[in-house]
Amino acid sequence: MTQEVKVPTLGESVTEATVGEWLKQPGDAVAQDEPIASLETDKVAVEVPSPVAGVLGTQEVSVGDTVEVGALLATIEEGGAPAGDGEEAGRAAQAREQEKQIDQETAAVASGEASSGGDVPTMSPAVRRAVLEHGLDPTTIKGSGKDGRLTKEDVLAAAKAKGSTPAPSQSAPASPAPSPAPAPATSAKGERRTERVKMTRLRQTIAKRLKGAQEEAALLTTFNDCDMTAVIEAREAYKEVFAKKHGIKLGFMSFFAKAACLALKDVPAVNAQIDGDEIVYHDFVDISVAVSAPNGLVVPVVRNVESMSFAEVEQAIAGYGKKAKEGSLTMDDMTGGTFTISNGGVFGSLMSTPIINPPQSAVLGLHRIEDRPVAINGEVVIRPMMYLALSYDHRIIDGREAVTALKIMKEAIEDPMRMLIDL
């Protein structure tokens, strides 16, 4: 019996996607709920699972095609697997479990690369497996696939050039080793080369939204510097009992999220947005927090931060960070938000002018902490300082309101005992 696989519902207001990659080819055995294709939307990548166990029949669309919700993607021949289907299904299930473990381990590697400023390429499960098995850094491998994606052959070629051999795995099903592609030729000394790579759908959307924000909003940025001594001391004093009680580390982001809530409550325009000829004010604070993912930075939303504890904020952010690295963020995770916090300091940024995330009207930019000489009570002392930047839409937020809001955040960070740590 033939089963149709159609483009699933992608989220509110999202009607189409781009076929990013086929994870299964015609004739491949698939288990129920096993991903067969990856779709790229304006915000996230979505894997399409098989509704039944069987064999992939036809692929009705190609990589790079734009498809609408409900469109036919492929067909599955239900129960069409060859003899030994039960054994094949068992091996498929075992392989999926291995993929999950490998994804988690590779995500940890990707996280470290992202925090150091490297661009982590998008990788399919098979490529992630090959990267991990050969112990390679994916950011150093040139992708030959569509849009510069890494292929398994790219990884094998890099491994061959490095002289790497995969670690043995007793649980992996035996299969003939694919022939590695020849290593790419080294450019002649002094040779100048160029390369054209098509922008992904996500990157195109980011470009349009940021350019649109600059063209439509009256953007302005106000700065302040912040003494991080008290927060650093509070984290050091409470880190062990906090982690023991809540099961998570006390980070910087919860301090800034709660400080932002104080400011947005006192200066509601910073938490508002323009809708036509009206200003929409919110009595809640939904903070979009920029986190690093293999595809780039994404901004999932932590909702009702004003009513959350420090531990709940840290747990929510950590949960989104894990989902981002695993590629499992949903459209609902990314929808909404009344204010954004972006921490460029993890990449080493000293100062920046962040761009607002429409339809929001303000964004707080955090930067690296560095020891600097400052004057306190007539004496020059060395303190850990951070520059804060608040970019805002001058159409709705006056300069006095923006400066006041940023000053409230600064004061809350410099005196964190004013905020409840929930211990």
Q: Annotated active-site positions, please?
A: 394, 398
CA angle 204/205/206 to nearest 5° reads 90
Our measurement of the distance from residue 303's CA atom to the centroid of its chain's CA atoms, rounded to an integer in Å, reads 17
What is the DSSP track for 126-179? Answer: HHHHHHHHHT--GGGS---SGGG---HHHHHHHHHHHT--PPP-SSSPP-PPPP
Residues 120, 139 contacting (CB under 8 angstroms): yes
For 86, residues 6+ apart whose C-beta sits below 8 A from its C-beta are none
- The residues pairing with 59 across neighbouring beta strands, listed in sequence order, are 74
Half-sphere exposure (CA, 13 Å, Cβ side) for 3? Answer: 16
Backbone angles phi, psi at 297, to 5 degrees: -80, 135
Q: Other C-beta atoms within 10 Å of 273: how many?
A: 21
Please give the Cα distance from 423 to 411 (Å, whole number): 21
Residues 106, 60 contacting (CB under 8 angstroms): no
Beta strands in 254-315 (DSSP E): 273-275, 278-280, 287-289, 291-293, 296-298, 301-302
For 354, residues 6+ apart whose C-beta sits below 8 A from its C-beta are 221, 340, 342, 344, 363, 364, 365, 389, 391
**2 conformational bin, left if phi > 0, alpha if psi -120 to 50, beta if neither:** beta
Please give the Cα distance from 257 to 337 (Å, whole number): 13
Specify the residue for token string 């089963």: 3
* Helix (H/G/I), strand (E/B), else coil: 78: strand
Please give the Cα distance from 363 to 406 (Å, whole number): 11
